[in-house]
Amino acid sequence: MRNCGLMAYREALELQLEFCEKRHEGLRGNTVLIVEHPDVITLGARKSENKLLVDCESLGKRGIDVVEVRRGGGCTAHNPGQLVVYPIVKLKSLGLGVNEYIRGLEAIGIELLRGYGVSSDRRKGYPGLWVGEEKIASIGVQVKKGVTIHGMAINICNDLSIFDNIVPCGIDGVRITSLREQTGGDVSMDEVKRKIAGIIIKCFSSEEVGGYE
């Protein structure tokens, strides 16, 4: 488990790709990056679901980066106060297929939110988590040579107005929510990161693992 703090999206992507290749070659074990990003909008592999409401030049002038990636799903947004986890794991080592792995990520998010008194659930056909009709977490995964990259983003205490620039995940009319919005209270990102690290280890590891750094 590696706490990357606040890290630029492009830098985190390069780190994922480096670790993915090393994991494939057997040069390192399964790793999970826990990170927050400065303002960024990412465009997924499904072109039809990448719906920007503001042009890239205008976004750039406001300090919002736009990055094309090859993960599943459409466009989404990241900013400080959003919890992002990137597991770089060999699915075979977990005994999981892709769909089971995604369900596992959702289960981790559900448990984390439940610990704060927020009940969330899956929605068929839309990977991620919902609180009623509002979306609180997004999941987008890519598998390269049997190793996963990208992962899950959960809105904790971030500024949700960044989502006004896109149609999140290509779903028209969807409303985005956060843990802070649901509870009405302050949330410690350090605490949330420690909690999700423990849940990930419990859900995905059958062996003794290194600690959270």
Helix/strand/coil (H/E/C) assignment for every residue in 138-158: EEEEEEECCEEEEEEEEECCC
For the record, the structure tokens of 108 come out as 């981790």
In DSSP terms, 128 is beta-bridged to: 138
In DSSP terms, 76 is beta-bridged to: 42
* 20, 75, 157, 169: the active-site residue: 169
For the record, the structure tokens of 151 come out as 């992962």
The verdict on whether 169 is a catalytic residue reads yes
Q: Can you give the C-alpha Rg of the chain in angstroms?
A: 16
- C-alpha dist (Å) from residue 86 to 1, 167, 183: 10, 23, 26
Q: Which of 31, 213, 198 is nearest to 108 (CA)?
A: 198
Distance CA 28, CA 51 (A): 37
Q: Give the residue numbers annotated as catalytic, written as ranges.
A: 169
